[in-house]
Amino acid sequence: MTSPIVLTANNIRKTFNGREVLKGVSLEARAGDVIAILGGSGSGKSTFLRCLNLLEVPDDGEVMVGDFRAPLARNRKGRMVIADPRAAARMRGETAMVFQGFNLWPHMTVLENVMEAPLRVQRRDGAEVREKALALLERVGMAAFAGAYPKRLSGGQQQRVAIARALATNPKVILFDEPTSALDPERVRDVLALMRSIAREGCTMIVVTHEMAFARDVSTLVVHLADGVVESSGSPAHMFGLDASPAFRGFLAPAP
């Protein structure tokens, strides 16, 4: 039995200031997958994730989310650009993203942050959106803070709200960009526990992270990016076993 493909990235390339950060990276995510993207700093893992929802426009390659193909085209100078902003917005609406820096909207309360996209982008019914948002806040343990503004919250609390915001639109896939890197160790545990539980519920996730335990215990696929290419990939059992590629084992445990 195979689940449907929800996201495909084909041969993604990206160059910044003459440095080729991504040299042709491909990935396929099926419904229910939890894909951990690992790699050293500068390996291109965040850039790759940001190409998946077109926060970065790849220089080459294609991205598909569900039935939406990223509307990319070359302009007169030969650079790849978003050809149709409306189509790009629709495609992004099928995904959600959780950022390292949370990026909650500071002028909205916690509840308003969670309700914003379902209400304004998906134009769903207000009462139903509110009910679901409150249920999600309950789910992430933030119901007591529904009326608070983000700056009153700790980093871990903000990140849990951001996860509720991501879940609120029923996205086909949630992209996590180093969601615990800006948190202190105690908060890291809270956020990882929450991510584990939404993974168990069958949420499709692509996670750029440095949390090896999360990758080993929760993910269904581990991808090791190095120097802008997929150096190796496989099941966590394989990648964290003795048969893993020497480069990945070197990444996990640098020689003493």
Partner 1 sequence: MADGSGFYAPTLAQLFGAVPVTLLILLVSMTLATLLAAVLTACSASASPGLRAFRAGWTFLFRGTPLILQIFMIYYGLAMLPWIRWGPAWPAFRDPIFCTCLALTCCCSAYIGEVFRGALAAVPAGEIEAGKACGMSRLQLLRRVIAPALIRIALPSYSNEVIMLAKSTSLASTITVLDITGVAQGIISKTYRTLDVFLCAAALYLLINAILSAGLRAWADRLSIDRPTPKAVEPL
4 CB neighbour count, 10 Å cutoff: 9
Tokens of 17: 């200031």
Binders in 103-122 for partner 1, by CB under 8 A:
103-107, 116-117, 120-121
Please report how close the Cβ of residue 168 comes to partner 1 at its closest, in angstroms: 9
* Residue from 13, 23, 90, 130 in contact with partner 1 (CB under 8 A): 90
Among 73, 83, 89, 144, binds partner 1 (CB under 8 A): 89
Stretches 17-25, 40-48, 83-91, 240-248: which one binds partner 1 (CB under 8 A)?
83-91
The DSSP letter of residue 34 is: E
Q: Tell me, what DSSP letter sits at residue 70? A: P
DSSP-derived secondary structure letter, 147: T
Query: Which residues lie closer than 8 Å to 226 by C-beta, 6 or more apart?
Result: 39, 40, 43, 247, 251
Count the site residues for partner 1 by CB under 8 A. Answer: 31
Which residues inside 134-193 make contact with partner 1, applying CB under 8 A?
A: 149, 151-152, 165, 169, 175
Restricting to residues 26-55, which ones interact with partner 1 according to CB under 8 A? Answer: 53, 55
The Cα 14–Cα 131 span in angstroms is 41
Residues between 210 and 229 that touch partner 1 (CB under 8 A)? none
Alpha carbon of residue 169 to chain centroid:
14
| Least distance to partner 1, CB of residue 107, Å | 5
Residue 199 Cα distances to 34, 208, 238, angstroms: 7, 15, 20
**Residue 76 makes contact with partner 1 by CB under 8 A:** no
Stretch that binds partner 1, among 91-99, 179-187, 223-231, 247-255 (CB under 8 A): 91-99
Strands 34-38 and 221-226: what pairing? parallel
Binding site for partner 1 (CB under 8 A): 53, 55, 85-86, 89-97, 99, 101-107, 116-117, 120-121, 149, 151-152, 165, 169, 175
